[in-house]
Amino acid sequence: MTEGSQGNDVKALLTGDKKHVLLLIHRNPDGDAIGSAYALRRVLRRIGHEVTVACPSDYPFNFRWVEGIDKMLVGDRQPQKVRQSIHRAQIIVYLDFNTFQRIDGIAQYLEEAAAYTILIDHHKEPLIRADFQLSEPDASSTAELVYRFILHVLDRADLIDRAVAELIYAGILTDTGKFRHNTSARLFRIMAELKTAGLDDLKIFDLIYNSLQEKHLRLIGHALHNRFVHWQEYRTAFIYLNKDDYRQFDIKRGDTEGLVNYPMMLSDIILSALITEQQNTIKISLRSKGDVDVQQLAKRYFNGGGHKNAAGGYHQGPLEQTINDFRRAVAEFVTAQMKNSKSTS
């Protein structure tokens, strides 16, 4: 948490006269990006600011319940409106990303901005510099940091109503994998505070995870039966999806959320991946157990990053070649991890 005069400057700026505020979130927005942005949007609108949320790509189906999300500016469809909003903004907040690569073409318009900038993010080694930075890799989620920003920087605990609490919870719930990683005693104290503020956690859980379409269940069955690979020697399993799968199951943004977690159900697995063939690249999502640091795997081999037990990256080239390269990377990485584990035991 940034302390001192810088925090006081932000408080004065955001609790003063009406401002035009732009909240930017990353491509393929997840629950953390969406929950963080719309919790902060609600708080800043109640203070009196005009607030716009923008993202390079559209939001997933299971977040259609979020108030105001239908008004989000989408760079893929509305590049000029996004550019205009950047020009108009007096304050720009970067939420849940720490490199401009994650906002694609929107980044080029930021060179024209004259706004005061704020970064709120929990990823390691930020490459973005902002006028005010709240960057804590040890936090469970950006949503947790937004909650603390409202309390300790804005000093407006009174603005944490039920709707804000539920949006913060949505971000925490999804980014911790339903509280399976990145948790802490502090996080569960925050959860108690959110419940006190009126959080209906069961309702939000159902909206996110139990509001699927039939195609989602059929996709899960297909992925586990036909696209599941288990490398026992490396204690690794992964699911892959190709472009034909995307067409067959009409996969939209967010439809593959959670697939990467299924291999983790096996007792012998320490590393899981979801490898998906996108339009121009191959996306790799990674999960792990215990001390296996997939953030290092993503960074070293796949131009990515993230957190110790949840990370991701990208790979150029055909899907088959990606899987071969992934196998080589896993063989080297897991072997090194196992040696390190034995040497420290």
pLDDT at 125: 85
Residue 324: pLDDT band (50, 70, 90) is very high
pLDDT at 337: 75
The torsion region of residue 179 among left (phi > 0), alpha (psi -120 to 50) and beta comes to left
Confidence check: pLDDT of 73 > 90: yes
Identify the band that residue 336 occupies on the pLDDT scale cut at 50, 70 and 90.
Answer: confident
Task: Give me the pLDDT at residue 342, please.
Answer: 59
- Terminal-residue alpha carbon distance, the chain: 35
Average pLDDT in the 86-108 region? 95
Of all residues in the chain, what percent carry a pLDDT higher than 70?
A: 96
Choose between 125 and 205: higher pLDDT: 205
Question: Given its phi and psi angles, is residue 306 left (phi above 0), alpha (psi -120 to 50 degrees) or beta?
Answer: left
| Section 275-301 average pLDDT | 93
Give 5's pLDDT tier (boundaries 50, 70, 90): low
Q: What are phi and psi of 172, to 5 degrees?
A: -65, -45
Q: Which carries the bigger pLDDT value, residue 255 or residue 169?
A: 169
Contact yes or no for 24/54 (Cβ under 8 A): yes
CATH 3.10.310.30 corresponds to the domain 214-344: yes
List the domain boundaries for the chain.
Answer: 5-209, 214-344
Entry pTM: 0.88
pLDDT above 70 (res 281): yes
Banded pLDDT at 257 (limits 50, 70, 90): confident
pLDDT beyond 50 at 1: no
229 exposure class (CB count in 10 Å sphere: 0-12, 13-18, 19+): middle
Q: What is the mean pLDDT of residues 33-38?
A: 98
Lowest mean pLDDT among 40-49, 207-216, 233-242: 207-216
Which strands sit side by side in the sheet containing 132-135, from one edge to the other?
Answer: 73-74, 50-55, 20-25, 91-95, 116-121, 132-135
Topology of domain 5-209 in CATH is inorganic pyrophosphatase (n-terminal core) (3.90.1640)
| DSSP at 274 | E
Does the pLDDT value for residue 4 go beyond 60? no
Distance CA 103, CA 75 (A): 9
Cα angle 183, 186, 192; round to 5:
100
* Separation between Cα atoms, residue 128 and residue 121, nearest integer Å: 10
Instruction: Please tell me the predicted confidence (pLDDT) of residue 8.
Output: 82
Give 253's pLDDT tier (boundaries 50, 70, 90): confident
pLDDT in tens, 97-106: 999 999 999 9
Average pLDDT, the chain: 93
Q: Give CA–CA dist 340/238, Å, rounded.
A: 23
Q: What residues form DSSP beta bridges with 313?
A: 284
Angle between helices 185-196 and 162-175 (to 10 degrees): 150
What pLDDT does 341 receive? 60
φ, ψ of residue 267 to 5 degrees: the values are -65, -30
C-alpha radius of gyration, the chain, whole number: 20
Please state the rounded mean pLDDT for residues 118-143.
94
> Is residue 268 within 8 Å of residue 235, measured between CB atoms?
yes
CA atoms of 70 and 219, how far apart (whole Å): 26
